[in-house]
Amino acid sequence: MIKNDLFLKALKGETVERPPVWMMRQAGRYLPDFMKLKEKYDFFTRCQTPELATEITVMPIKQVGTDAAILFSDILVVPQAMGIEIEMKPGVGPWLPTPIRTSAQVDNIVVPNVYEELGYVYEAIKMTKQELNNEVPLIGFAGSPWTILCYLIQGQGSKNFDKAKEFCFTNPVAAHMLLQKITDTTIAYLKGKVEVGVDAVQLFDSWGGMLSPVDYQEFSWQYMQQIIDALKEQIPVIAFGKGCWFALKEMSQSGASALGVDWTCSAANARYLSGGNITLQGNFDPSRLFSPPKEIKKMVHQMINEFGKDKYIVNLGHGILPNIPVENAKAFVEAVKEYQPR
């Protein structure tokens, strides 16, 4: 039995004394101990070395005190397993020497044996579960097929992913073939994570908000739905689409256990758009963690009052920024633990 099961209770919609709290990207770049490891090992070495991934995953539990751990990894390990070369360039982020730009390239992409290609992730989960010793739940994750496609075609990060959108709109057959291959790989990958012991999974659709509501249904949501359908009987699934407030109603009917909300959508709107019955997660502006700790605590209490303490998981509206002071991240978590319902 997991000793602190607040997160799992919130995913089930159960009544809790206070909402659980964790932070997207909590295992990483704002922690001084993480930066020491970053100086010694490159990004994908950290992802691919189970001992390092375990150490990084557990850091925020010990140092910041969140109610759930999220495995240190990256959404791009999935396309790497599919035989696509991806580097993490300092100052650039994800970078593909050969972006996917033709139907022939899409034809050549394989749906791999995830146990062979991503065995290091499963080892990291087993090690992390041992290290956590049932203190808190462990979250596994994957990127949405659309978000992964964005990187594969654009070749790197972008403000508008214009090349990715151009490919989808001029070559929809190849785009859908690529999206389906990513979806099939992701389902197998996440099922493997469930087998080795994660307690919940989150789908990150970081670039879903780049699409119009109609295009979102065609190029993103239908593939997210396939993944949710494949997993929802086995494990709680959290669907998070940044900038995708327009899809909250459809998302709420998907079978997901919870929906992530970014900071551009108010608690009242998120509850209204999602029908008011599903657990919501979010939505503190990550930049607001630069505010003084006293102010952070006040804002967090206000946020909980607006969402309500039940069917709610306190989180940021996107990943924590690298230069946030650790004491401010702690203030965010402490504010939730100190929360008293009105």
Is 301 annotated as belonging to a binding site?
no
Which tens digit of pLDDT belongs to each residue from 58-96? Answer: 999 999 999 999 999 999 999 999 999 999 998 889 999
Angle between helices 145-154 and 172-195 (to 10 degrees): 120
- Among 247, 232, 225, smallest CA distance to 201 is for 232
Is 44 annotated as belonging to a binding site?
yes
342, pLDDT greater than 80: no
Q: Which residues contact 104 (CB under 8 A, 6 or more apart)?
A: none
341, pLDDT greater than 90: no
Confidence of residue 177 (pLDDT cuts 50, 70, 90): very high
The pLDDT of residue 10: 98
Is 202 annotated as belonging to a binding site?
no
Q: Give the DSSP letter string of 263-286.
A: TTS-HHHHHHHTTT-SEEEEEE-G
User: For residue 206, which amino acid is it?
Assistant: S
Residue with tokens 């101990």, as numbered in its chain: 33
Is 223 annotated as belonging to a binding site?
no
CATH fold of 5-338 reads TIM Barrel (3.20.20)
Enumerate the H helices of the chain as residue ranges: 6-12, 32-40, 43-48, 50-63, 77-81, 103-108, 114-117, 119-132, 145-154, 162-170, 172-195, 213-216, 222-231, 248-252, 267-273, 293-307, 326-337
Is 103 annotated as belonging to a binding site?
no
Is 308 annotated as belonging to a binding site?
no
Q: Which residues contact 105 (CB under 8 A, 6 or more apart)?
A: 98
Q: To the nearest whole percent, how much of the chain has pLDDT over 90?
A: 98
Is 206 annotated as belonging to a binding site?
yes
Is 140 annotated as belonging to a binding site?
no
Taking the domains of the chain in order of start, what are their residue ranges? 5-338
- Among 291, 293, 317, smallest CA distance to 303 is for 317
Phi-psi region of 113 (alpha: psi -120 to 50; beta: other; left: phi over 0): beta
Is 107 annotated as belonging to a binding site?
no
Which tens digit of pLDDT belongs to each residue from 235-266? Answer: 999 999 999 999 999 999 999 999 999 999 99
Is 285 annotated as belonging to a binding site?
no
Contact (Cβ atoms closer than 8 angstroms) between residue 37 and residue 110 = no
> Both tokens of residue 202?
């989150």
Q: What is the DSSP letter of 16?
A: -
Q: What number of other Cβ atoms are within 10 A of residue 87's Cβ?
A: 15
CA-based torsion, 223, 278, 284, 336: positive or negative? negative
CA-based torsion, 318, 322, 328, 331: positive or negative? positive
